[in-house]
Amino acid sequence: MTLLAEVMARIPLAKPIFDEEMANAAMGVLRSGRWVKGPEAQAFGKEFATWCGAEAAVPCQSGSAALWAALRLLEIGPGDEVIVPGLTFIATATSVSLVGATPVFADVETDYWCICPDDVNSKITEKTKAVIGVHLFGQPFSPRLVEVCKQHSIPLIEDAAQAHGAMLNGKMAGAIGDIACFSFFPSKNMAVGGEGGMVTTTRPELAERLHRLVDHGRDDSLESIELGTNLRMSEVMAAIGREQLKHIDQWIAIRRNNSTSIGHSTKTRPEGTHAWHQLCVLSDDPSGLISAMDSAEIDARVHYPVPCNRHSVYQNHPQHNDTLSVCDEISHRLVAVPVHPSLTDSDIERIRSVLHLRSS
Ligand SMILES: Cc1ncc(COP(=O)(O)O)c(C=O)c1O
């Protein structure tokens, strides 16, 4: 590559990392012929639980599958309500609808953009069976959310799809609430070479059922004793995930350095550690910023342009036209710029200069 081509190579918003060890691990599984239900997925679950401090972890096929399993683990279904943030990836809310329950949308915090504990508190009813807090963009949700859920004895599900490695008051995402759900979609902080997810729990009594739920609800005698389905992670994905896990702490440290080097005004919670899945900046001119990034050959996009309650899928939801004031004010203004660990110094400089030019 010439110097000019290298300087102007387009900078993607995300870039999955795949090295020789990961390739070898995947090939090892393929050659073994043991493609499903083998030792890799079992070991991946154990290693992931140890890494994040959970009691147990079960690999599955996606973050969305993990959310489904978490809700079924709590036996949530028709007639139940689950409080979710209005600003998140839609799967947080649709997972609730998919088990037949109703998502109740709460507003987010002005400073940190995670679900607002006071709004959650005001929306709790006798039908509330869980709260899903999202560690949005890698920022841990408020410690007050944990308190509110405890006060009302309502289980707290962490949607940690974007937050591998985030921390709150010394606990890692995955060990903060009752159950946590991770995604290994290729853009995430760690990946598995395809679709993948993980459910963790801090409650040992739930672990056995968690294993069952992703395997047709079957017990050791292969009898289905509760409703489950095949959400098992394949062995190749698990083998790649195990290799990725060896690097995750270092990759998150690089993300953190990158976010500092790029420079931004995004606030981070003092009680937490941001995992920098996304570096989102609140812009007064999001389209101007995105097109300036585009002219500099940098991918950038708004996350998430429309609050979940306003999506057409929720056109019959009682909150479809409700104002969630912070969500409505910021959702179309949050622009994600690259922060991933594969950025070079010159990439960082290019992102930094466009960002600073647009905000000066
Ligand atoms: C906050 C959040 N929840 C859930 C999901 C769903 O994860 P998956 O795409 O692996 O199903 C994602 C994925 O983007 C997400 O960002």
Rounded average pLDDT over 145-164: 98
Fold of 20-245: Aspartate Aminotransferase; domain 2 (3.40.640)
Percent of the residues in the chain that have a pLDDT greater than 90, as a whole number: 96
Distance (Å) from CA 67 to ligand 1 centroid? 9
Ramachandran class of 250: left when φ > 0, alpha when ψ lies in -120 to 50, beta otherwise:
alpha
171-172: strand order across its sheet: 171-172, 167-168, 272-273
Testing ligand 1's pocket by substitution, the residue of 113, 185, 190 carrying the most ligand atoms inside 8 A of its CB is: 185
Query: Which helix (DSSP H) or strand (DSSP E) does residue 26 occupy?
Result: helix 20-32
| pLDDT of 148 strictly over 70 | yes
Please work out whether the CB of residue 91 comes within 6 Å of at least one atom of ligand 1.
Answer: yes
Paired strand residues for 272: 168
Confidence of residue 358 (pLDDT cuts 50, 70, 90): confident
pLDDT digits (tens, 9 = 90+) for 44-58: 999 999 999 999 999
pLDDT digits (tens, 9 = 90+) for 71-93: 999 999 999 999 999 999 999 99
pLDDT at 4: 54
pLDDT digits (tens, 9 = 90+) for 230-273: 999 999 999 999 999 999 999 999 999 999 999 999 999 999 99
Please work out whether the CB of residue 105 comes within 6 Å of at least one atom of ligand 1.
Answer: no
Structure token digits, residue 124: 């709790």
Rounded average pLDDT over 151-178: 98
Fold of 3-15+268-359: Aspartate Aminotransferase, domain 1 (3.90.1150)
φ/ψ of residue 217, rounded to 5: 65, 25
Burial of 267 (0-12, 13-18, 19+ CB in 10 A): middle
Please work out whether the CB of residue 103 comes within 6 Å of at least one atom of ligand 1.
Answer: no
Of 6-10, 181-185, 197-201, 330-334, the poorest mean pLDDT is in 6-10
Please work out whether the CB of residue 89 comes within 6 Å of at least one atom of ligand 1.
Answer: yes
Q: Which of 277, 308, 54, 41 is nearest to 180 (CA)?
A: 54
| pLDDT of 3 strictly over 80 | no
| pLDDT of 7 strictly over 80 | no
φ/ψ of residue 85, rounded to 5: -75, 150
The domain segmentation of the chain, as residue ranges, is: 3-15+268-359, 20-245
Confidence of residue 2 (pLDDT cuts 50, 70, 90): low
- CA–CA distance, 242 with 331 (Å, rounded to integer): 35
CA 168 to chain centre: 15
pLDDT digits (tens, 9 = 90+) for 291-346: 999 999 999 999 999 999 999 999 999 999 999 999 999 999 999 999 999 999 99
Rounded average pLDDT over 139-162: 98
Distance (Å) from CA 198 to ligand 1 centroid? 11
pLDDT digits (tens, 9 = 90+) for 167-189: 999 999 999 999 999 999 999 99
